Structure 1
Amino acid sequence: MKTNLEIEYKTLLSLSEFDQLSKRFNHIKPIRQTNHYFDTPDLKLRKNKLSLRIRTFSDAAEMTLKIPQRVGNMEHNLALTSQQATAILEADSLIGHDVLIQSMLDLLGQYTIDIDTIHTLGSLTTTRREYQTTIGLMALDRNEYTNRVDYELELEVEDAGLGEQNFNTFLKENKIEYRYARSKVVRFLESIGKMS
């Protein structure tokens, strides 16, 4: 399992802003990825500020558990094959895959969460263009979920203070209005009526 500290800044975009930024990203081949979100029926993970997903690509997958830190989120990433991910998703349960995802189950075991009740809530598909800029890893996303579409710009950085300053400067220089973007999982949960 790999871990990394994720510090990112993001804004929701209007369609015209998305189209404008798409020109800057047109040299990047888009990647399609789907986040399959997991939680208990009473959202115990969310109540503990945790986020658990399997992200599938055309030829690979990974399971990620995000745990909030004072700044950013600690991401625990476990590589899966497409077949392994499909098996977990089709079972709609983490149980029975213990050997494969034991390190993830050990992390979840630190919380009072009944792992037997964790199941898939649904999915969000992103078409992403991403590239390393001088100010950080920038991603332009088109997200589809629950009959909705939204657009988002993310900047992943190593230094929180400098990253925020650079992100705000980039928005200003490109005449992009800042719109607070809740995390993808929260927007998904809102769309299925699990959060208000």
Structure 2
Amino acid sequence: MNQLEIEYKTLLNKAEYIRLLEIFSDTEPVIQTNYYIDTPHLDMKKHRFSLRIRLLPDAGELTLKCPQDVGNMEYNQFLSLEETKDLLETFQLPKGHIHDLVTATQIPISQLQIWGQLTTKRYEKEVSFGLMALDENSYNGKRDYELEVEVKDAEEGKISFDFFLKKHSVKFKYASSKVARAAASLKSAK
């Protein structure tokens, strides 16, 4: 499944996160762990690509994100739980559309390896302007909170997201991607 991902997000402090939990009180959280993949020479990053395996309670997903003028093109390859666990033990990029896209870039596929992970407790629900997620993230001894929304229309989505933040007294705080935060936490730990 391929889709254009347009999302807006903000980091939250713990008090804002707890306050927003009330909005998601009718949803059950899902625990998911993202495992990030690149070569030792950061070839994926140099192409501005992001490659991850997402482990869910009963399945997995391989995702490649490629930047577009607006948003990211997201390519997903669904995996069984067994396939996911095998990939996590000995990573080899499985055959399929993602493999073909990465191969076309001259990135040395044999050098791809898992370099980091981030676990999210996610509450998700449809709102009038998109799919909203409230996340508590844990990685490398750190914890952070964020609110994000995936929208279909970039302009309307931005206006609606800003209005939502104002209505709920949430001050916008820039949130880099989860993969970037996980990478930065590894650098700061050295």
**TM-score, length-normalised on structure 1?**
0.93
Matched, 1:82 2:85: no
How far 1:122 moved relative to its partner? 1.7
Please give the root-mean-square deviation of Cα atoms over the aligned residues, in Å. 1.0
Which residue in the other structure is 2:90 paired with? 91
Q: Which amino acid aligns with 2:43?
A: K
How far 1:47 moved relative to its partner? 1.2
Which residue in the other structure is 1:4 paired with? 3
CA–CA distance in structure 2, aligned partners of residues 142 and 172 of structure 1: 21
Q: Secondary structure at the match of 2:175?
A: coil
Q: How much identity, in percent, do the aligned residues show? A: 45
Which residue in the other structure is 1:104 paired with? 98
Which residue in the other structure is 1:143 paired with? 137
**Structure 1: gaps spanning 5 or more residues:** none
Query: After the TM superposition, which residues 15-164 of structure 1 pair with which residues of structure 2 at under 5 Å, given as runs?
Result: 15-94=14-93, 97=94, 101-164=95-158
**Segments of 4+ moved more than 6 angstroms:** none
CA–CA distance in structure 2, aligned partners of residues 155 and 91 of structure 1: 33
How far 1:103 moved relative to its partner? 2.0
Q: Secondary structure at the match of 1:192?
A: helix
Return the match for 2:175 from 181, 188, 194: 181
CA–CA distance in structure 1, aligned partners of residues 38 and 175 of structure 2: 21
Number of equivalences: 188
How far 1:92 moved relative to its partner? 3.1
Deviations 1:78-136 (A, max 9, x none): 01001101111101333xx4xxx332110101212111100001210000000000111
CA–CA distance in structure 2, aligned partners of residues 26 and 42 of structure 1: 43
Q: Which amino acid aligns with 2:9?
A: K
Q: Secondary structure at the match of 1:193?
A: helix
Q: Secondary structure at the match of 1:6?
A: strand
CA–CA distance in structure 2, aligned partners of residues 16 and 51 of structure 1: 31
1:8–1:155 Cα contact (<8 Å) kept: yes
Q: Secondary structure at the match of 2:83?
A: helix
Which residue in the other structure is 1:166 paired with? 160
1:93–1:120 Cα contact (<8 Å) kept: no
**Structure 2: gaps spanning 5 or more residues:** none
CA–CA distance in structure 1, aligned partners of residues 79 and 65 of structure 2: 17
Q: Which amino acid aligns with 1:115?
A: I
How far 1:27 moved relative to its partner? 0.9
Q: Secondary structure at the match of 1:29?
A: coil
CA–CA distance in structure 1, aligned partners of residues 103 and 127 of structure 2: 38
CA–CA distance in structure 2, aligned partners of residues 73 and 51 of structure 1: 10
How far 1:44 moved relative to its partner? 0.8
Q: Secondary structure at the match of 1:12?
A: strand
CA–CA distance in structure 1, aligned partners of residues 171 and 104 of structure 2: 40
